[in-house]
Amino acid sequence: MTNQPDERFSAVDALLAAVDGGAVLPAPGERVRLREAAGLTQAAVAQALGVRVPSIAAWEAGRAEPKDERLEAYRRLLDGLAHRYPAPERASRNGADTPPTPASVHQGPASDHVPEPPDTTVPAEEGHQEGLVPMRAESSGALRPPGRRSALSPSRRPGPEGTRKPALSAAAVDVRFENGPLAVVDVEDGQALAYCVGGLVLDVPVKSLPSLVEWTLTEAKLGQPKLSGSGKDADPLVVLTEAALERFGLPARLSDEERLSGRLPESHKVVKQLVRAEWKLTRRGFGPWARIYRPAQGGRRQCVQLCIPSWGALDTRHWLDAVYLPPADLARVLGTYAMRVMTPRGSTAVTGLELMTALHPPTRASEADASGKRHSEHNPGSLGKDPVDPAPCEVPDGHPLLAGLPRFHQRGPAEVLVEEAYDWARPLTDDECTKRHLVGIDVNMAFAAGANGTVVGLGAPTHVTNPVFDPKLPGSWLVDLSHVDLSRVKSGKEWVDLDGDLLPSPFTPKGDRPGGPAWYATPTVAYAVELGYDVIPTEAYVRYDNGRYLDGWYNRLRDAYVATMADLGVTGDLAPDAFLAAMDGYRNNDPGMAIVVSAIKATVKGGIGKLRERPRGEGWKPGQPWRALARPTWRPDIRAAVISKTRTNMHRKMLKHAAFTGEYPVAVLSDCAVYAADGPSPLDFLPYREGKPLPGGFRLGVSPGMVKHEGTQSVLWGEGVREEHDAELNLARYIKDGQVSHQDAGE
């Protein structure tokens, strides 16, 4: 007992030393206040500190604390924010705290030009497989029309009863954007109403489109804070229903001619109204995704984006039935997507590409010079603001780099890089024909998982001859992989014997064994080395300026997907059988969130596809440049690297499965593999032991890279399809519902 005071004094001294050393951080609530006062999202802080968003959430909730260099970096951030945004003083007479006033957030570099948004549709190769009176919308969130509205005080903004309100980002507390990122404008009983995120409804006291734009920028308080410290805030998005179109003098549908051109003619009265009011349109004109702006003044952008669903802005392949939703439910769907991904900038493909740039802006503000001025400079880790020429082997036919080739020349594997997803199938073996079922499994967010951790080039390629292969160096390699024998390969540190004829080759999309030298992206060549074989490239285009450019993009889309699946009742802590049960009809749990999931998945595929966007008519001729080539994000090499990584990831899992079970896929289509099994469930052939999956093999779960049940058909069905239609037909394409159209079968 005599030592208790000394022990207490020692403990106090240790605590004081921790304070002096910076190991004690502000209270969790203060951490949140500082971040929100600066208008920073958890994602932006996580990216700066090199951690995941859940880590920031845990630090701000007091559930965990950073350690080592992350502690020092986090303390540095909080100290800097505390200096800029001091804690509010205690209020006056009633003793209540004065609410903190969020400081204005940096608007980003001024610009006198609003960049033209990319096209709003995506070809098949690119991802088709793109004074206020607050009121309450009494919508259940279950996609039904809103009922009567009752006026509420400005401080009360409840969401619809019975709906999961999406987690609010910093946009919800930023005074500039306190009403959320977007609004759906509708007209009821002659009154224009703006349905916002969280159930808020605002009166819209205007009757012309120019006035609507002015109102949006001056009174609506719509928008979204930037996703990166050197980026720009998102412009407000206004979605116009058919009733709103009629109110503002716009057609409910585009004519055939207008639909083909993608815009209203300049002679339309509303376009003339905008011109008279000194508003400008981008070169894309007034179409389904119109951008209306004035040149920036005083460092502040003046731009509003319109989304017009009845003109085809929300592609039903990706947004499903969103175009038919009541305004309150459409605001919920689009608002959830905006807060978890970003405010839509066009099609899901366009938004996927724009998200890359938003997370890695091409420029940043420099350190102050001698006169105290800052200048725009290259932002390290970005693709920069100017496009770079790819290697000749990386470009599609018709590119200007190939203008010197003879007409009708067909490039072979030794001339062109062909990294595409799998489309492979084979006949069933006699043993497989004795089984009863064909079971398809599908990799969640496969291309997102392929992007994660992939090192890609940031700058222009360097041509080298007879290089030594470096798996850490991104690029394109001319190498002969025909000697790789899948009958005997390395799996981990051990050699294993397989039936190589029952596995697709990992080196070609069709699964055929290479016949000689061909161009491959780095992940494909690295996989050949992993399988235990030597590689001797004869030529390469490598990129010494490189980095993990897509990691932040993957993290944001992964978090968005996982959070939305959790809204649908599918979480990451489910056992395999519980996961399969939860996935059965999960879309019916909340049809609105099911739409968001579909849009998130389309954002991944479309964004990767946009990296190699092809010409879109407009009088283009082979050998001439097309519009997309002017973008720094036109990077076919990055697309190739992601697809290469995705395909080899898939092969690695199939190989592990075959080595352990002796079972082989009968068909593979992109991220879907079909196996013959005695039962109808993936658990009838996936080797789980005590609930644990095969290391390195397929694993059931919701996270990207894990698999779900795609569909089950009978073996008799499969044999009948191949016999009736085409012996080479890929059964993975139809495993979900078993329907084979005559068009699919080539009839």
- The residue-averaged pLDDT of 253-263 equals 92
Q: What is the pLDDT of residues 274-315, one digit of tens each?
A: 999 999 999 889 999 999 999 887 767 899 999 999 999 999
Separation CA 474–CA 455 (nearest Å): 6
Does the pLDDT value for residue 728 go beyond 50? Answer: yes
Please tell me whether residue 88 adopts helix, strand or coil conformation. Answer: coil
CATH number of the domain bearing residue 50: 1.10.260
Separation CA 400–CA 423 (nearest Å): 29
Tokens standing for 118?
């990319």
Please tell me whether residues 352 and 256 are part of one structural domain.
yes
Domain end call among 547, 562, 589: 547
Strands (E), 167-299: 182-188, 191-196, 200-203, 237-240, 280-281, 289-297
Half-sphere CA count of 294, side-chain side, radius 13 A: 15
Query: Percent of the chain, pLDDT > 90?
Result: 67
Separation CA 692–CA 714 (nearest Å): 27
Does the pLDDT value for residue 522 go beyond 90? Answer: yes
Whole-number CA gyration radius for the chain:
28
Helices (H) and strands (E) in the chain, counts: 20, 24
The region of weakest confidence among 4-8, 431-435, 452-456 is: 4-8
Please tell me whether residues 67 and 137 are part of one structural domain.
no
Please tell me whether residues 38 and 131 are part of one structural domain.
no
Cβ-Cβ contacts under 8 Å for 614 (sequence gap 6 or more):
123, 125, 126, 396, 626, 628
Q: Write out the H or E segment, with its range, that includes residue 542.
A: strand 539-542
More confident call, 379 vs 67: 379
Please tell me whether residues 301 and 406 are part of one structural domain.
no
pLDDT computed for residue 103 by the predictor: 32
- The residue-averaged pLDDT of 46-56 equals 80
Please tell me whether residues 46 and 97 are part of one structural domain.
yes
Please tell me whether residues 271 and 300 are part of one structural domain.
yes
Residue 159 lies in a domain: yes
- The residue to which tokens 């970005």 are assigned: 382
Q: What is the mean pLDDT of the chain?
A: 86
Please tell me whether residues 96 and 239 are part of one structural domain.
no
pLDDT computed for residue 4 by the predictor: 59
Separation CA 662–CA 677 (nearest Å): 12
Q: What is the pLDDT of residues 502-518, one digit of tens each?
A: 999 999 999 999 999 99
Number of domains within the chain: 3
Question: How far is the CA of 40 from the CAs of 148, 254, 512, 685, in angstroms?
Answer: 36, 40, 50, 47
The stretches of 299-384 forming alpha helices (DSSP H) are 316-319, 327-340, 348-359
Confidence of residue 610 (pLDDT cuts 50, 70, 90): very high
More confident call, 265 vs 52: 265
Please tell me whether residues 89 and 134 are part of one structural domain.
no
Does the pLDDT value for residue 565 go beyond 70? Answer: yes
Please tell me whether residue 417 adopts helix, strand or coil conformation. Answer: strand
Residue 569 lies in a domain: no
Residue 109 lies in a domain: no
Does residue 701 contact residue 678 with C-beta atoms inside 8 Å?
A: no
pLDDT computed for residue 143 by the predictor: 42
pLDDT computed for residue 265 by the predictor: 95
Please tell me whether residues 185 and 334 are part of one structural domain.
yes
pLDDT computed for residue 254 by the predictor: 95
Please tell me whether residues 95 and 160 are part of one structural domain.
no
Confidence of residue 722 (pLDDT cuts 50, 70, 90): confident
Confidence of residue 238 (pLDDT cuts 50, 70, 90): very high
- The residue to which tokens 């605002």 are assigned: 202
Please tell me whether residues 190 and 303 are part of one structural domain.
yes
Residue 56 lies in a domain: yes
Residue 538 lies in a domain: yes
The region of weakest confidence among 71-80, 154-163, 201-210, 624-633 is: 154-163
Separation CA 225–CA 248 (nearest Å): 29
Residue 704 lies in a domain: no
Residue 467 lies in a domain: yes
Domain around 283: 124-359
Highest-pLDDT range among 8-12, 111-115, 331-335: 331-335
Does the pLDDT value for residue 520 go beyond 80? Answer: yes
437 closest CA partner among 657, 695, 718: 718
- The residue-averaged pLDDT of 488-493 equals 90
Tokens standing for 24?
């004690």
pLDDT computed for residue 37 by the predictor: 85
Q: What is the DSSP string of 567-607?
A: HTT--TT--HHHHHHHHTTGGGG-HHHHHHHHHHHHHHHHH
Q: What share of the chain is helix, strand, coil (3-state, %, to 5)?
A: 35, 15, 50
Residue 113 lies in a domain: no
Q: What is the pLDDT of residues 20-30, one digit of tens each?
A: 555 678 898 88
Question: What pTM did the predictor assign?
Answer: 0.79
Cα torsion angle, 260, 263, 269, 270, sign:
positive
More confident call, 372 vs 113: 372
Question: Residue 594: phi, psi to the nearest 5?
Answer: -65, -35
Please tell me whether residues 343 and 276 are part of one structural domain.
yes
More confident call, 290 vs 136: 290
The region of weakest confidence among 488-502, 633-647, 714-728 is: 714-728
Q: What is the pLDDT of residues 363-374, one digit of tens each?
A: 988 888 888 888
Separation CA 456–CA 470 (nearest Å): 13
pLDDT computed for residue 124 by the predictor: 38
The region of weakest confidence among 452-466, 588-602, 638-652, 724-738 is: 724-738
* Cα 546 → chain centroid: 21
Domain end call among 520, 547, 574: 547
* Cα 217 → chain centroid: 27
For the chain, what's the residue count? 747
Cβ-Cβ contacts under 8 Å for 211 (sequence gap 6 or more):
none
Neighbours of 629 (CB within 10 A): 16
pLDDT computed for residue 131 by the predictor: 36
Query: Percent of the chain, pLDDT > 70?
Result: 84
Domain end call among 73, 103, 133: 103
- The residue to which tokens 């105290």 are assigned: 372
